[in-house]
Structure 1
Amino acid sequence: MPPAVPPLLPLLLPLLLLAAARPAAPPHRPTFTCGGVVSGESGFIGSEGFPGVYPPNSKCTWKITVPEGKVVVLSFRYLDLESDALCRYDFVDIYSGHGSGQRIGRFCGTVKPGALVSSSNKMLVQMTSDANTAGSGFIAKFSAAEPNERGDQYCGGRLEKPSGSFHTPNWPERDYPAGVTCSWHIVAPKNQLIELKFEKFDVERDNYCRYDYVSVFNGGEINDAKRIGKYCGDSPPAPILSEKNELLIQFLSDLSLTADGFIGHYKFRPKKLPTTTALPTTTTVPATSTVKPTVALCQQKCKRSGTLESNYCSSNFVITGTVITTVPRAGSLHATISIINVYKEGNLAIQQAGKNMSAKILVMCKQCPLIRRGLNYIIMGQVEEDGRGKVYPNSFVMSFKTKNSKILNALKNKTCQN
């Protein structure tokens, strides 16, 4: 005789089957908004709406704070922003502290930087987007670390003792890791200067130091106009002396080849001693020399002489391009050119990201020849040892029109006599 069925079971059975057929509740996903204030030992920040497309025309700021006595380490888990060689359109800026003083780096595209370390227990992250192309944005983890902690990803920081050393991660046991960004900010008292020497130096070699490199800047921020030099290869740069009481050393390795790395030493020096800044040189890429224009040079009458044809062979480089940035400094002008075409390259350092090419030029006298941001030009000039183009008042620069291309192409096929 079959067992008796409980009287309520026929009523409960449909409900039990319905419950079993329901899918499990989806896992909780964090919702990312535009900026915010976050604190603690660790956590995540992400672009607004991640993993959906981030909105256009926005600026979002995150202020991160970890416990006192520690530093912030930020590691990108995902990055997908509009790609541009100079990160002009959509980008993420990382600053040490909650102000906008010392920028650790600016990033865009899809290649994640290495771990970024602040010099204090505060970090500011700011994402900016323009009106056009967008991607999925970013997600990054922040965590607290001891200031002197060393390892595959921790490096950089603020150095304030009268003397000290700094080195690449893993030094001297093994090669530095790929995908690392380190920034050391050395700060002396106001009345002192900083002397910097590299004892050992081995960074992936490249003619223009495009992949792994060390850059040294006067002041506390990454600023091309204040860059003393950019170094790679296996020859230590010559000793460096700061202009004032701050230096910033930035080390970056890409995601491919690595090398032994380096160790550097610094010490403070009284400002009152007679000093001259030694322009650092390497066998790979000499330092960027900052040339102050003489008064006589810039008082010459500013008038273009000759023709395209007569100036072509006497120039080291000939390009057409759009002026995208201009930075006046000490009577000269530092400009970045987005290249339309290269007719004569010489030793001009050309940066390439995808199909976009750009080059940096120094206009010795900022009013002569006069170039304006956003306009197209034919630029002929000489090249410094570090690959930067140099334009003098007598260099040939003119507005670029499509009709000029025919003449330039003809000149490109012409053989110049030495």
Structure 2
Amino acid sequence: MENPLLLLCVLLPALASGQQSVNSTRPLFPCGGQLTGDQGHVASESFPAPYPPNKKCSWTIRVSPGRVIILSFRHMDLESDPICRYDHVSVYNGDSPSAERLGRFCGTIRPGALISTGNTLLIQMESDEDSAGRGFLALYTAGLPPAQGNQFCGGKLVKPQGSFKTPNWPEKAYPTGITCTWHIVARPHEYIELQFEKFGVEGDTYCRYDYVAVFNGGRKEEGQRVGKFCGDTPPGAIVSEGNELLVQFVSDLSVTADGFLATYDVKQRKGVAVQPEPTIAPTTTTTRAPRVPRPPRPPRPQGRPLPPICQTKCGRKGTLPSNFCASDFVISGKVLSLSPQGQVTVSIIHTYKAGNLATREVGGETLAKMLVVCRRCPNLRKGTRYTLMGPVDPQGRGRILPTSFFLIYKPQQHQVLTKLTKRRC
């Protein structure tokens, strides 16, 4: 982390003309404001001094029409919390909190560059009554949208089979500062199978910088996210819940990599008859028997052997205290969605151990992604509340194994689990 005072010395010559200053040597950062111009900076109140408690500040950035905003954090020092419940900075892709939220941040790890889709960006910072740090400092610049920068990518894909790739593939690395979105659409009785044939995206434990995110449906809704991927290991095959998938690729302003090549295949769902196409009566007088449509071909069996863990007997092992210590995460929450592939979205009630479990705030709820490694083992149910614990994979998803210790959630468990958090394992 850079020295914040040294950063100010470097940035002083580039201060925006509307920024107040003290003795013309040190900028004075207020709580919120309107920032215009095609480049500038924004910082927490009183930076680099500690920010005050019990404040909510909002900054709106507006650049020239037809441009997008590239926001790069140079310093981050806020109260740490695994899910940023206390002091935090939120960035929105527009000029109000109702716009898409690009991220929520706290602690001392700087997020990667954030890129808007329009010419406005909203930053909000909230602090509670407890401990504080120096806050944040960020730079913003106006840039060309991807299409105008000759880096156009993404689009709507409606053919039964197809492929798509990152810009410059395979000749050279993908460019910096781009966002690409591919929307794959099948017919209502079909589903989509997505496969990454080649994959090379800047690696990070939490995929904060460059990443590929896949969503069920046609919108970027956190509750519908199948996964977020980076690094050089291709994700496994992804199968849609419905007849649409959305694939988003984002790169920041620094390190790049080879990129990816993906293919998709639209398939018929079992037990759904295909309506024959309407035929035009022949112009000859010959009478022909009506054509009987062939029954749909059953999907090919996958033929993938079960992993060894899935060949074990389904049933939890050990005790609550022993599993508490051995687990990366321990939470209680409600199952919001559960896909046939074992992808689970959980709305968290209490967090007792977070580890590297990735969470997101959506509509006032804290959501986490889980993966039931072996189908129906254990057999979680949508709408039911559970106490869950286990390991966390490199994508930040909790892994639920056949031997995982889980319980139907009851309020009296909270006292027991709270006591376990205070014990040394």
Give TM-score, length-normalised by structure 1: 0.56
Q: Deviations over 1:143-178 (max 9, x none)?
A: 211112799xx98x995566896637x86565569x
Separation in 2 of the partners of 1:360 and 1:119? Answer: 26
Name 2:141's counterpart in structure 1.
143
Q: Deviations over 1:262-307 (max 9, x none)?
A: 25589999xx9989xx9xx9x9xx9xxxxxxxxxxxxxxxxxx999
Secondary structure at 1:230 match in 2: strand
Distance 2:227 2:132 in 1: 34
- Do the aligned partners of 1:167 and 1:264 also contact (CA within 8 Å) in 2? no
Query: What amino acid is the match of 1:233?
Result: D
Describe the superposition over 1:230-264 as per-residue Cα deviations: whole angstroms up to 9, x where unpaired. Answer: 33434365466584767352547899x97433255
1:67 corresponds in structure 2 to 64
| Maintained 8 Å contact 1:46/1:140 | yes
Q: Give yes or no for the alignment of 1:334 onto 2:346.
A: yes
Q: Residues 93-104 of structure 1 correspond to what in structure 2 (within 5 A)?
A: 93-99=90-96, 100-104=98-102
Distance 1:196 1:111, change over 3 A: same
Contact 2:215 2:225 (8 Å CA) reproduced = yes
Change in Cα spacing, 1:188 to 1:88, as seen in structure 2 (3 Å) is same
Query: Does residue 1:167 correspond to 2:170, yes or no?
Result: no
Give the CA deviation at 1:227. 1.6
Partner in structure 1 of residue 50 of structure 2? 53
- Which entry has the higher C-alpha Rg, 1 or 2? 1
In the aligned structure 1, how far is the partner of 2:128 from the partner of 2:23? 34
* Aligned AA (1:144): A
Displacement of 1:139: 1.8
- Distance in 2 (alpha carbons) for counterparts of 1:109 and 1:381: 24
Matches within 5 A, 1:253-292: 259-263=257-261
Change in Cα spacing, 1:317 to 1:173, as seen in structure 2 (3 Å) is farther
Contact 1:195–1:242 under 8 Å retained in 2? no
Q: CA deviation at 1:118?
A: 1.0
Distance of 2:392 and 2:112 partners within structure 1: 33
Residue 31 of structure 2: aligned partner: 34
Once the two structures are superposed, what CA deviation does each residue of 1:167-198 show, in whole Å capped at 9, x if it has no partner?
Answer: 37x86565569xx8865445689999999664
Aligned to 2:224: 226
Task: Give SS of 1:97's match.
Answer: coil
Describe the shift of the 1:81–1:176 C-alpha distance in structure 2 as closer, same or farther (beyond 3 A): farther
| CA distance, structure 1, for counterparts of residue 317 and residue 259 of structure 2 | 49
Deviations 1:102-149 (A, max 9, x none): 222222222222321111222222222222221111122222111127
Task: Check 1:250–1:108 CA distance in 2 against 1; reply closer, same or farther (3 A cut).
Answer: farther
Structure 1 CA distance, aligned partners of 2:41 and 2:206? 36
2:174/2:258 contact within 8 Å kept: yes
> In angstroms, what is the RMSD of aligned CA positions?
5.7
Query: Against the structure 1 CA distance between its residues 117 and 401, is the aligned structure 2 distance closer, same or farther, given a 3 Å change threshold?
Result: closer
Residue of structure 2 equivalent to 1:89 = 86
| AA partner of residue 388 (structure 1) | G
CA-to-partner distance for each residue in 1:191-242, whole Å, 9 max, x for gaps? 999996645312367999799753323454462x322123343436546658
Q: Could you tell me which amino acid in structure 1 is paired with residue 381 of structure 2?
A: C
Q: Which runs of 5+ in 1 are unaligned?
A: 1-24, 287-304, 342-348, 353-358, 372-378, 410-418
Change (3 A) 1:266 1:145: farther
Once residues 392 and 123 of structure 2 are traced to their aligned partners in structure 1, the CA distance between those partners, rounded to angstroms, is: 37
Amino acid of the residue matched to residue 346 of structure 2? Answer: H
Query: What letter is aligned with 2:37?
Result: G
Deviates more, 1:327-336 or 1:31-40: 327-336
- Structure 1 pair 136/128, CA: closer, same or farther in 2 (3 Å)? same
Report whether the alignment pairs 1:215 with 2:213.
yes
For 1:144 and 1:123, how far apart are their aligned partners in 2?
11
Percent identity (aligned):
36
Contact 1:174 1:260 in 2 (8 A): yes
SS in 2 for 1:33: coil
Letter paired with 2:95: H
Structure 2 vs 1, CA of residues 235 and 187 (structure 1 numbering), >3 Å: closer, same or farther? Answer: closer
Label 1:69 to 1:384 Cα distance change in 2 as closer, same or farther (>3 A).
closer
Describe the shift of the 1:213–1:146 C-alpha distance in structure 2 as closer, same or farther (beyond 3 A). Answer: closer
**Structure 1 pair 39–85 and aligned structure 2 pair: CA distance change class (3 A):** same
Amino acid at match of 1:235: P
Between the aligned partners of 1:110 and 1:182, the Cα distance in structure 2 is 25
8 Å CA contact retained: 2:181, 2:246: yes
Instruction: Please tell me whether residue 133 in structure 1 is matched to residue 112 in structure 2.
Output: no
Aligned residues: 328
Residue identity opposite 1:143 in structure 2:
T
Which of 371, 390, 398 aligns to 1:388? It is: 398
Contact 1:58 1:130 in 2 (8 A): yes
For the residue of structure 2 that corresponds to 1:68, the secondary structure is coil
Match of 2:248 in 1: 249
Partner SS, residue 75 of structure 1: strand
Contact kept, 8 Å, 1:317 with 1:383, in 2: the verdict is no
Structure 2 distance, partners of 1:138, 1:209, is 21
TM-score of the superposed pair, with normalisation by structure 2: 0.55
CA contact (8 A) 2:94 2:122 kept: yes
1:365 equivalent among 373, 378, 381? 381
Letter in 1 for 2:234: S
Quick one: which of 197, 200, 204 aligns to 2:198?
200
